Each structure stands twice: as structure tokens, then as C-alpha cells.
A and B are shown apart, each in its own frame.
Chain A
Amino acid sequence: MRTAEALRMALEALRVNRLRSALTMLGVIIGVSAVVVLVAIGTGAKNAVEQEIAGLGSNIILVVPGQLNFAAAPTQSRLDLADVAYVRRVVGDESRVTVSVQSGETVRVGRDEAFVTVVGTDQYVANIFDRPLRRGRYLSETDVDTRRRVVILGSEVASRLFGDVDPVGRQATISGVRFRVIGVYEKVGATFGVARDQEVHVPVTTAQRLIGVARINGIAIGASGPDEIEGLQQRVVDALVQRYPGEKFSAVTQTQLLGTIGTVLGMLTGVLAAIAGISLLVGGVGVSNIMLVSVRERTKEIGLRKALGARQRDILGQFLIEAVLLTTIGGVTGIVLGVGGALLIAAVSPVPAAITWWSIALAFGVSVGVGVFFGVAPARRAGRLDPVVALRAE
């Protein structure tokens, strides 16, 4: 018997029991669309985080004291501006090194106030991080050297405190000290939950006095290219360890962060897909069940077909194709719904969803596989029916 013939028979059989076929498919449809949607959300989340990290700038190395360990509190920094100068000599290009010291403070303008992260940094910050200005200017060397009370506002801080008014040249009070606004940053979004638009930047020297410390929190270095990163990372850490024997320093790169976070999010996506996969499995059991019912119902037909010369494999093929057709049609419908659902979620909610070809191919493959796997037992039963017994069946 030709495949085309078997396909025609199977389609006819599904058409005859339209409602039942549709309900059986529903299990597969739900399973497949769940796989597609959840994988899309997982991938979307991963992409979003990767974009955030990449959005920081390129080829950034962050140097922090101690060991980067999410299980322990961060090491209290013992680095100061002299160490920054030392790192600058190690790197060999001072414009590729910048510094940060941070503290949460209240900024006031008139009667409005906002609680923001005050970041003390220097004139090189924009060489390393992507921090485009919307208005005004960056910090200058003189600002840092003379400990000027000037501030650049993150876009959200600016709109909160000044509304539509151009803040450049106006006054703002940080922890009771008056600052002059010299610039406003463009909106850059959040990275790792750090709302970079709610930061304000002041000269590092000013910040140290304002919050009463001589330390800095961290050093950021911009490598000239991806090839330089690893060597530079090692060189800086080695130099710091040499300067402070017995202490630990860590230098992490975006790639490393991406790697760690990518693995975590990849696992998350996997878990989501597995949960969706379970519903696909349940759908498969439904297919198996319905095929068994179908074989029983059509026992007489099977007997007749055998009497007319159908071989065991013809009957097996007929029922197997029917099962595979059920799950394949269900699978394709599920993919269409899943893709539609993912696009809808991405469009109307803040949840990012990215459709991946592999998840569609996988969902399709699995639904065909489910048809074969769960169709085989009923189909074999049909194929093995004794024609005499089958013809007598009521």
C-alpha cells in the first residue's frame, strides 16, 4: 500500500471523528505551544540580560577587592585613589581606567527630592561605559582635581526633579551640599537591577568628601579589544596582589558575567521547556488512549481489510500514520499558537519573548515522535488482530 493512500485513509478517519480528533489534538497543541512560548520567554530573558551587559560598553574589566562571591558580603574596599593611579600605570593608558565610589543619598531641588545613587567618578567614565550625554558636558580633569561641586544627572533624576525644565546650570542639593548641574545623561536602562538612570555622577574627590571616605569601591578598565582582555585582566590582578601581598583581587569581564548568567538562564529555559514537555507527554498519552479506542471501534473494519488482503504492516501503518497525523497537525497548530502567543506576550507585556528556530524544530520533531511512540502500541494491536475474530466483532 502506498503512503499517499495510507495518508488519505488516515485523514478520512480523522475527518469522520472531527470532535474527537480535535480534542485529542488539544493535548498536543497545549503541550507544543507551551514549549514554544516558555522557551521564547526564557530565551527572551536571556537575550535581555545579555543586551543589558553588552549595553554597559564593550570590553570592560571590573576590578574589585576580594573575591566575587554571591554567597558572601562584598569585601570592604581598601583601594584608594593612589591605587587607581597605580593601576593606570600598569595599564599604560590612564584614559582607559576609571573609578567609582558610591553611596545612596538624597537630592533636593526646591521642595522636590529623590533618593539616588551618587557615583563619584572622573573624566574618563564615558571612555569605558556607554554613557551618552543628552545635555551639558562630562566631568573634567579640573572638576576632579579641584573637587568641584558639580553633578551630572541620570535621565530619570533629571525629569523627576526638573520636569521639562533644562537642569543644566541650575542648583541641586545633595546631602545638604549645594551642587551645580553640568549635564544630563541619556536614558540607558537598567543593568542587573541597577537603575543607571537613577544615578548622579559627581567628581570622585567631591564624593569622597561628601560621604566621608578615602576609599573607592572599584576600578573599571576598558580593554582596547577582545584579544587584550584576558592578558590585561591578569596583569592588573597580579600587580595589585604584588602591591598588597596576601590580599585578593578580582577582575571580572562582561564575557564572564555573560557566561555565568547565560548558564543560569539557559538552565531556567531548560526547566521551563521540560515542564512544558511533560504536558506534551500527557497529550501523547491521550493520543494513545484514543487510538486504542479507535482500534476497538474499528475492529470489524480491520477484519474486513485483512480479509481483502491487507497485511499486518498495512494495518499497522494505517493506524500509526493516523496517530502521527494527529500529533503532527496538533504540533503545527501548537507551533502557530505558540509563536502567536509569544509575539503577543512580547508586544503587550514587559516580559521579553524571543522565538527560536530550534524550539520550533524541536517541538515539531517531538510531536511527530510522540505520535510514533504513542501510536505504535495501538497500531500493533490493530495489525495483529485475528481476522476471523475481528470480522465477528460487534
Chain B
Amino acid sequence: MSAPAFEAVALTRSYQLEGVSVDALRGVDLTVSPGEFAAIIGPSGSGKSTLMHLLGCLDRPTSGVLRVGGVDVATLSDTELAELRNQTIGFVFQSFHLLARTSALDNVALPLVYRGVPRAERRNRAQAALEAVGLAHRLTHRPAQMSGGEQQRVAIARALVGDPKVVLADEPTGNLDSRNGAEVMNLLERLNHDSGVAIVLVTHEPEVAGRARRQIHVRDGLIEHDTGAS
């Protein structure tokens, strides 16, 4: 049995805002197994984004333990954390975050640049990833030449290109109409089913969260309810 994708114990995160300490997370215990499809759901300000940033190793907890793929992130330097992100985590953002003047192919290949993969191989893998999300015909298009749904699929291809253990999706349908949103959710579902990559999505929409097999409800910096708690 391999290590959990994420394992958080008594995780807290507080911020200093103009001298006042704000507790965004107040002690979260959470385990996400490999291949899971989980949704973190909660109203805005509940701490779900903070939790996602911590899980994504973009930020460090104030206290508590977080293990990503069995590795305690507190033991890692910033550089090692960057490498961990690069190797094990794929990100999908609400506003896609594609480089505007760069083709779909090069956008998708970007994570591999930081892994030192040679250019030809990068392009091959990026092309395969774009084909997997049904965008084989959009390789040289720039973001502005594509619809929102297509852009988000490019972003998903980028998240997948490095063969991550987990894809973290932050409101992936937030900027899409319902038809494109549904398409993106179908895609995530299929990827989770076909390739076994764990997917953790963060949303405030119950319908979107309902597509996941597990719902983790967050409120006021704590897990209120977790349908998959073991």
C-alpha cells in the first residue's frame, strides 16, 4: 500500500493582517488516498483556499504536520518544495492561468521545462496530453484564440503532463458556463477513472462537489463534515 497522497494532522495556518492574527485554518485532520476523487466544499472565507494552497505546497502550515506522498513538507527547503510540486502535483486554476502569448503546446509543456526534460520530448508529451483532453486540433493556438472551456482543458493537460499523483483543481468550473463546466467535470472524472490520478477539487458549488465521490465540508477553518472520513 503506497503512502497517502495527502496526510494532514492538526494543520493550522494563521496570517498577520495589519498586526491582527487571523486563523484561516484551525486544526485540520485529513487523509487523501491515491486515486481518490474528493471535493473540498465551503463558503468563501471558510479556509478552503488556504487548505488547497497548503496541500499544493504553495504555502507552509503555521503548525501541524503535512505529508505529501509520505514526505513531511516541514523538512523540505523551498527548492525541494518546488521540485515536489513539479513532480507530484498538477494545478488547475479558476482563471486558467495560461501564458497569454504562448501556444497551447508550449503552455502544456511548461512544467517539464522545470524538470529539465529536453525540448523534443517535452513537445511529444505535451502533444499527448493535449490529445488526451481532446485538443489535438488546437496545438498551436494561443489562449485568446480558444474558448474558456478549451482553455481550461489546456490547463488540465498542463496539470497532467508531468504524470502527477494528484491534481488540485481550484474552482475549475468557476469561470465557465454550465455546458463547458460540465464538460470539464466529465473530463476530470474520466481522467481520475482512467489514469488513477487523485483529484482534489475546491468549490463552493454543491452540484460540482456532488460529482466527486467524497465531499469534505469546510467552515470557519475546520472540517465540518467529511463523507469519506475513515
- Residues of A in contact with B (beta carbons under 8 Å apart): 1-2, 5, 12, 16, 300-301, 303-314, 386-388, 391
Known: A306-B82, A387-B59. 19 other contacts (CB 8 A): A1-B113, A1-B116, A12-B101, A303-B97, A304-B93, A306-B85, A308-B91, A308-B114, A309-B86, A309-B111, A309-B114, A310-B114, A311-B78, A311-B82, A311-B114, A312-B79, A314-B82, A314-B114, A388-B59
Contact of A2 with B116 in the complex, beta carbons under 8 Å: yes
Identity of the chain A residue whose Cβ is nearest the Cβ of B90 in the assembled complex: A308
* B78 engages A309 (CB within 8 Å): no
- Of all A-B residue pairs in the complex, the 10 with the closest CB atoms, nearest first, are A309-B86, A309-B114, A311-B82, A308-B111, A387-B58, A304-B97, A311-B79, A309-B85, A388-B58, A310-B114
Give bound CA distance, A373 to B115, whole Å.
28
A314 and B113 alpha carbons, distance in the complex (Å): 10
Q: Contact partner of B53 among A310, A314, A388, CB < 8 A? A: A388
A309 touches B158 (CB 8 A): no
| CA distance in complex: A310, B59 (Å) | 14
Partner of B58, one of A5, A16, A391: A391
Given contacts A2-B116, A388-B58, contact A309 B53 (CB under 8 A): no
A–B pairs, 15, beta carbons within 8 Å: A1-B113, A1-B114, A16-B101, A306-B82, A307-B85, A307-B91, A308-B86, A308-B158, A309-B82, A309-B87, A309-B111, A310-B82, A310-B114, A314-B114, A391-B93
How far apart are the CA atoms of A314 and B91 in the complex, in Å?
A: 19
Q: Min CB distance, A54 to chain B, in Å? A: 59
A138 to chain B minimum Cβ distance, whole angstroms, is 79
Residues of A within 8 A of B86 (CB): 308-309
- Decide: A306 and B116 in contact? CB cutoff 8 A: no
- A306 contacts across to B, CB distance below 8 A: 58, 82, 85
How close is A1's CB to chain B, nearest CB, in angstroms? Answer: 6
B110 in the interface (beta carbon within 8 A): yes
Interface string of B11-22 (1 = CB under 8 A from A): 000000000000
| Complex alpha-carbon distance, A309 and B161, angstroms | 13
How far, in angstroms, from A1 to B85 measured CA to CA in the complex?
Answer: 15
- Cβ of B172 within 8 Å of any chain A Cβ, yes or no, is no
- B-side contacts of A5, CB under 8 Å: 113, 119
Contact A311 B83 (CB under 8 A): yes
Q: Distance in Å from the Cβ of A317 to the closest Cβ of chain B?
A: 11
Complex-state Cα separation, A12 to B85, whole angstroms: 25
CB-contacts of B40-92 with A (<8 A)? 53, 56, 58-59, 78-79, 82-83, 85-87, 91
The distance in angstroms between the C-alpha atoms of A309 and B58, with both chains bound, is 10
Give Cα distance in the complex from A266 to B7, angstroms.
Answer: 71
Q: What string of 1s and 0s marks CB contacts (under 8 Å) between B107-138 and chain A?
A: 00011011110010000000000000000000
Q: Are B110 and A308 in contact (CB under 8 A)?
A: yes
Kindly list chain A residues whose C-beta atoms are within 8 Å of the C-beta of B99: 301, 304
Q: Contacts A16-B101, A387-B58 given; indicate if A309 touches B115 (C-beta within 8 A).
A: yes
Q: In the bound complex, how far is the Cα of B115 from the Cα of A72, in angstroms? A: 76
A residues within 8 A CB of B113? 1, 5
The chain B residue sitting closest to A9, CB to CB, is: B113
Contact B116 A312 (CB under 8 A): no
Enumerate chain A residues within 8 angstroms of B116, measured Cβ to Cβ. 1-2
CB distance from B164 to the nearest CB of A (A): 10
Nearest CB of A to B127, in Å: 18
A307 touches B56 (CB 8 A): yes
The docked-state distance in angstroms from the alpha carbon of A306 to that of B101 is: 18
Given contacts A1-B116, A307-B85, A308-B86, contact A313 B91 (CB under 8 A): no
Residue in A closest to B114 when the chains form the complex, CB atoms? A309
Most chain A beta-carbon neighbours within 10 Å: one of B87, B99, B162: B99
Bound form: Cα–Cα A11–B111 in Å: 19
Name B102's closest neighbour in chain A (CB-CB).
A12
CB distance from B81 to the nearest CB of A (A): 9
B58 engages A305 (CB within 8 Å):
no
Set of chain B residues within 8 Å of A388, measured between Cβ atoms: 53, 58-59
Select one of A12, A304, A309, A386 contacting B83, CB under 8 A. Answer: A309
Separation of A119 and B85 alpha carbons in the complex (Å): 90
Give the docked Cα–Cα distance between A310 and B83 (Å). 8
> Which listed residue (B58, B83, B119, B162) contacts A307, Cβ 8 A?
B58
Chain A residue numbers with a CB within 8 Å of B93 are 304, 391
